[in-house]
Amino acid sequence: MTPRLAIRAAMALALGVPAFAPAAHAAETIDPVADKAAFQKFFTDKFPKLKREDFVNGPYSMNEDLHKQWQEKEEFPPYEFSLEDGKQMFTTPFKNGKTYADCFPNQGIGIRQNYPYFDEKEGKVVTLELALNRCREANGEAPISYVKDEMAALTAYMAFTSRGKPMDIKIPNDPRALEAYRLGKEYFYTRRGQLNFSCATCHVQSPGERIRAEVLAPALGILNAMPIYRSEWSGMGTTSRRFITCNSQTRAVPLNPQDDEYRNLEYYLSYVSNGLPISGPGARP
Amino acid sequence: MRTIAIIAVLLIANAGTAFAASEADYKAAYATAEAANKEAGTLRNQWTTTASTLAAAKKAGDAGDFDTAVVQAREAEALAKASIFQANSEKQRWKDMEIH
């Protein structure tokens, strides 16, 4: 953590005041369209030289040297093996002869940009990872771990088939969907853990700054690159893994993968990145 | 002078025993900390440091080191209470961070 961040966090916790306090509250009303516009403007104003679509490259978009590293990595991307595994898993029939393709619209190809979605029957957000495990269970297969290689491989393949397509998350005219969105927003901005950090502390207040050797990614487009190969992990990671790790890093006890809070968070963060291209699978330092 | 010295020795010895924690002290302190951490759990806001400090308290208690166990349990209780305070205050404070 940089001394500046550490001081800001410590002072905020000690004094009980926000380290970053815009003038007025806009949280009383739920207006996703206005939220998205304000969210995207905040980042494009903060980084005026950056093209909007480049935000999806996370820390690699934040400075020229890192951008060069990213271009070099993309020649022999570290997620390539996972992508191949994912394609094989996706096309291999279950014991009953069906495949993942049978569970998804358009046979599961080029649909990543529509996840997560709000399921009006269930009244909850359904993420791609959750839909994949539900597909397995519906076809008599055991669910797989949300944080390990197989899930990362499957979502990597599905993301790859959507590369370049703009994120397109819908919020239906259903008060439950709006509430899920609102709760996701609340989770994003809520400080937690002994370090008193929210998601926004790093990814809104401090993108481009360093925490130790890492350059923080902007929140805008942060999920468009999922899943990611992280050099720090020496492997692939899903969105679930990313949320859990973020919580642990603030010294908060993580929730279970696909708990409602994480599903709502994914819904909110994906919606405010609508229009930015899917770039997953990605690679990160 | 001799009387004063004897009294001083007795007072010091007594003070020493006053700070020595018993198993009952440890169990009470641990239960209080655990209850506070449980409350943080209902608020979906437990801290990893509370869990590790509770574990340290239990380890010391199991080893019969009740002084350390009580200190650790009280530390865990303080951490749990801080996490409860954080969860409650953030119910409104999160709005201050919102982009708009």
Where are the domains positioned within chain A? 3-7+29-77+170-284, 80-160
pLDDT digits (tens, 9 = 90+) for B3-35: 555 555 544 445 444 569 999 999 999 999 999
Q: Which pLDDT does position B7 carry in this prediction?
A: 55
Considering CB atoms only, which of B83, B89, B96 is closest to A21?
A: B96
pLDDT of residue B4: 59
Average pLDDT, chain B: 89
- Lowest average pLDDT, out of A40-54, A61-75, A123-137, A166-180, goes to A61-75
Report in angstroms the alpha-carbon separations of A186 from A28, A171, A174, B41. 11, 17, 19, 18
What's the gap in Å between the CA of A32 and the closest CA on chain B? 11
The residue-averaged pLDDT of A172-194 equals 97
What average pLDDT does the segment A132-161 reach?
97
Cβ–Cβ < 8 Å for A17, B89: no
Fold match flag (A3-7+29-77+170-284 vs A80-160) = yes
| Overall average pLDDT of the A151-167 stretch | 98
Architecture of domain A80-160: Orthogonal Bundle (1.10)
pLDDT at A283: 87
Q: Which pTM was predicted?
A: 0.88
Name the band, by pLDDT with cuts 50, 70 and 90, for residue A255.
Answer: very high
Q: Per the CB < 8 Å rule, is A252 touching B87?
A: no
- The beta-strand segments (E) located in B1-100 are none
Question: Complex ipTM, two decimals?
Answer: 0.85
Q: Which residues contact B55 (CB under 8 A, 6 or more apart)?
A: none
Largest CA distance in chain B: 77
Contacts of A24 in chain B (CB under 8 A): 100
Write out the catalytic residue numbers of A: 246
CATH no., domain A3-7+29-77+170-284: 1.10.760.10
